[in-house]
Structure 1
Amino acid sequence: METTKDIAIGKSFNNWIIINKLGEGGFGSVYKCQNTIDPTQFAALKIFCQDNDALTETKIIRKLEHNEGVINMIECGYSDFGYIMVMDIHGINLKVFKEKLPEHHFTQDTSLRLLLRMIKILQFIHKEGIVHCDIKPSNFVVKGKEDIVLIDFGIAEYYQDQFGNKTNRKEHRGFRGTLQYASVNAHLGKPVSRTDDLVSAFFIYFENILGTLPWNSLTDSPQQICEKKIQFKESGIYKYTQIQMPVINSFQTIIENVDATEPSYTFIMNKLSSLFVEQHIPLIPIFNEKELSILPEEEDYCQYRTVPSTPKNCKLKKINQIDEAQSVESQNTTSYLDDLFKTMKEQLPSFHPLPKISSFVSKLKSNDFNLPFGL
């Protein structure tokens, strides 16, 4: 049985053929794939390292997939190279999108619309008894330039069962999530709650509008990041004039009621909705024309991450740049050999490449291997 690391471009799963790698992490690898029956259909194919991780995530996504704000699963199952999940493929994530903008931040209106959409998505998954546990910009991808979709439920959990009873979740389990966007509770090792998901969404809003967060430069010090977040939520937030008071009030409300049975979704939505009315902000589209002009075509920028950005995973590559470099080298070499054979045929009409050379070139063109030497 092959492992995830052995997966090669061109292999198939059911009616899907792998085209290229999009990302990898502690839970597995994600590839872009193409439907062999309908070549116009593309998808994201995730190969898990552990079957237990796969079964948990696929079960959660299957429960949530009827909502437009959650990634849709096309199919899943076992293969010769591990458990596989095929999902819809969308555009760049919000982190990459923000970095592409000239000012490296979204406008106030766009930031507010994104926050409202994120809260609606979270309200839905929370209603289904699930907490995401890793809300961050790179886990929201752009869908058709008009919406966003939440992806990567690798560490998501059930906080209650189908009957509304709380599930047994281990206390003081250690940090889980992404340092920059995790709540203070997550830093303390407590089970992530619905409120903690909402806090992370507000952190995304603050970063979208400010361009950065006060603790983003402290990536190597979880303790200092936690202390900065405590200062920020207690008083530091008020010094940023770009953040409107209804947003601050909403944020303060959820952190003050962290142990509430039900987060104050209605209060938050009402506060944010009042801003749209008072300032004549349109609810749609989410992104303005200037921001949309930054986006390339979807098939050119699809990116997925399959693991939270915890310290132990911070060195993982998002994109397999070595494979890309080797692919370019192979294409250049193939072109060189084609030109060489063409020239030889013109100068020597009786010239025919030896069978072994022809076989070598065929394999090279199909990317079965890369040359161990330069030409």
Structure 2
Amino acid sequence: MLPASDNHMERRRPKVEAKKLGPLLPEEVINHTWCIEEEISAGAFGAVYKAFDLVKGNYVAIKASKTLENSKRSHIRWEAKVYEQFKGSSHCPKMIAYDVNTTPHFLVLELLGPSLSYLVKRLKSKALPKGIVAAIIKQCLGAIKDLHNACFIHRDVKPSNFAVGSGSNRSKIYIIDFGLCRKYCHEKECPFSERFDVGFRGTVRYASTRAHFKKDLCRADDLTSLFYMAYELLAGQLPWKHKSDTNVILSMKLKLPPTTMAEALDVNFKLFAEHLNYTSEPNYEMIEALLVNVMQEDNVDENTLFGWEHLLKKEENISKHKQNCKEIEEQCARKAACAGEEEMGDEK
């Protein structure tokens, strides 16, 4: 195991295509400690699995690289660095361990609940009440602010990169997946000089127009993506949801800037959109105050479970049922093995 490095490492894409690795398989044991159960999600740089800690007796999440990488330029090493510097935030999942001296490289994290994307898709109403949306976005804003204070920008803010906690933390929202994060400044110093034509970073649906133009992204771009998230939750969908052509989506975003989109929303969200024009340090406190206004108008409590409590309980029940079924199968297998040994003994 390696401690998270304090040295800055600028992430660059390899010049040649890296060798792809196969997925981890159920019951595969990693480092004699973590037993893989199932794949939870997969992204560009790695797949996330639910695993059981054979030593401590609890469940964890393991993110494993999908390609064979040099340990010094490993995406897992980079993410571990971000987790190490971001760990002081209450919106940061706990990093348990990581290893880049094995194949595949992997990162062990506390196991969270479902992503916001998963939960919203399963709610009956596609558009949520504005007070609930404000409560969700307020927590997401807090997570982004803490990440920015740790000197990183996320560059891929979207519903699937936020997840709720488990157990007593199911009201808390965590920000996840730091594969596209970039350090934008050294501690207590001005942001690095802007780079030019850096390539597209992010997810097209939620990316800012600056991202489309391949500009060096800044803190305001993370907040623009957060505004698109808020609009989607309030309206049920973004105007370009059914568009696949990137140029068409960019054209729609240019014709419908956040300030125009916010015209149909609450006045507080309109003020939020107007603030996105600033490229210097965002006024997080002002935006948070606007969101609190919306929550108070709708009588939404800070610890509201956002209407998905029943979905979380359903997830837990399904997980418990799967675990019970697995235990029953193991018991049956042991009994069958014992019966087979007895029959062999009788034959002798």
- Contact 1:180/1:215, CA 8 A, preserved across alignment: yes
Aligned to 2:140, the other structure's residue is in SS state helix
- Contact 2:24/2:36, CA 8 A, preserved across alignment: no
Q: 47-56 or 195-204: which moved more?
A: 47-56
- Does structure 1 residue 18 correspond to structure 2 residue 40? no
Q: 229-238 or 181-190: which moved more?
A: 229-238
Rounded Cα–Cα distance in structure 2 between residues aligned with 1:271 and 1:7: 45
| Structure of higher CA gyration radius | 1
Q: Which runs of 5+ in 1 are unaligned?
A: 302-327, 354-375
Q: Which amino acid aligns with 2:251?
A: E
Rounded Cα–Cα distance in structure 2 between residues aligned with 1:126 and 1:8: 36
- Contact 2:87/2:93, CA 8 A, preserved across alignment: yes
* Percent of residue pairs identical: 22
Q: 1:364 corresponds to which residue?
A: none
Q: Which amino acid aligns with 2:176?
A: I
Q: Which amino acid aligns with 1:161?
A: H
How high is the TM-score relative to the length of structure 1?
0.74
Rounded Cα–Cα distance in structure 1 between residues aligned with 2:316 and 2:204: 29
1:298 is displaced (CA, Å) by 4.6
1:352 is displaced (CA, Å) by 6.0
Task: Choose from 118, 138, 149 the match for 1:116.
Answer: 138
Task: Choose from 283, 290, 293 the match for 1:274.
Answer: 293
- Contact 2:259/2:274, CA 8 A, preserved across alignment: no
Task: Choose from 302, 306, 310 the match for 1:287.
Answer: 306
Q: Which amino acid aligns with 1:231?
A: K
- Contact 1:133/1:157, CA 8 A, preserved across alignment: yes
Rounded Cα–Cα distance in structure 1 between residues aligned with 2:344 and 2:309: 53
Task: Choose from 37, 53, 61 the match for 1:35.
Answer: 53
Q: Which amino acid aligns with 1:188?
A: F
- Contact 1:233/1:252, CA 8 A, preserved across alignment: no
Q: 1:104 corresponds to which residue?
A: 126
Q: 2:14 corresponds to which residue?
A: none
Rounded Cα–Cα distance in structure 1 between residues aligned with 2:210 and 2:318: 38
Q: 24-33 or 135-144: which moved more?
A: 24-33
- Contact 2:269/2:290, CA 8 A, preserved across alignment: yes
- For residues 3 and 238 of structure 1, do their structure 2 counterparts lie closer, same or farther at Cα, with a shift above 3 Å needed? closer
Residue deviations 1:163-215 (CA, integer Å, cap 9, x gap) = 41423553211211101111111111012210010111111111111111001
- For residues 275 and 106 of structure 1, do their structure 2 counterparts lie closer, same or farther at Cα, with a shift above 3 Å needed? closer
1:5 is displaced (CA, Å) by 0.8
Mapping for residues 210-229 of structure 1, pairs under 5 Å: 210-218=235-243, 220-229=244-253
- Contact 2:156/2:180, CA 8 A, preserved across alignment: yes
How many residue pairs get matched?
Answer: 308
Q: Which amino acid aligns with 2:309?
A: L
Q: 2:16 corresponds to which residue?
A: none
Mapping for residues 1-375 of structure 1, pairs under 5 Å: 4-5=21-22, 7-9=24-26, 10-39=28-57, 41-48=58-65, 49=67, 50=69, 51=71, 52=73, 53-144=75-166, 145-168=170-193, 170-218=195-243, 220-233=244-257, 236-238=260-262, 240=264, 243-254=265-276, 256-257=277-278, 259=279, 261-288=280-307, 291-295=308-312, 296-298=314-316
Rounded Cα–Cα distance in structure 1 between residues aligned with 2:142 and 2:103: 37
Aligned to 2:299, the other structure's residue is in SS state coil
1:244 is displaced (CA, Å) by 0.5
Rounded Cα–Cα distance in structure 2 between residues aligned with 1:154 and 1:250: 27
- Contact 1:129/1:164, CA 8 A, preserved across alignment: no
1:4 is displaced (CA, Å) by 3.5
Q: Which amino acid aligns with 1:95?
A: S
1:33 is displaced (CA, Å) by 1.1
Q: Which runs of 5+ in 2 are unaligned?
A: 1-18, 320-325
- Contact 1:91/1:143, CA 8 A, preserved across alignment: yes
1:234 is displaced (CA, Å) by 6.2
1:283 is displaced (CA, Å) by 2.1
Q: Which amino acid aligns with 2:235?
A: L
- For residues 247 and 17 of structure 1, do their structure 2 counterparts lie closer, same or farther at Cα, with a shift above 3 Å needed? same
Rounded Cα–Cα distance in structure 1 between residues aligned with 2:343 and 2:299: 76
Q: 1:323 corresponds to which residue?
A: none
- For residues 298 and 176 of structure 1, do their structure 2 counterparts lie closer, same or farther at Cα, with a shift above 3 Å needed? farther
- Contact 2:132/2:295, CA 8 A, preserved across alignment: no
- For residues 299 and 293 of structure 1, do their structure 2 counterparts lie closer, same or farther at Cα, with a shift above 3 Å needed? closer
Residue deviations 1:34-91 (CA, integer Å, cap 9, x gap) = 111222x111111223332122111011110121112221111235423221001111
Rounded Cα–Cα distance in structure 1 between residues aligned with 2:61 and 2:117: 19
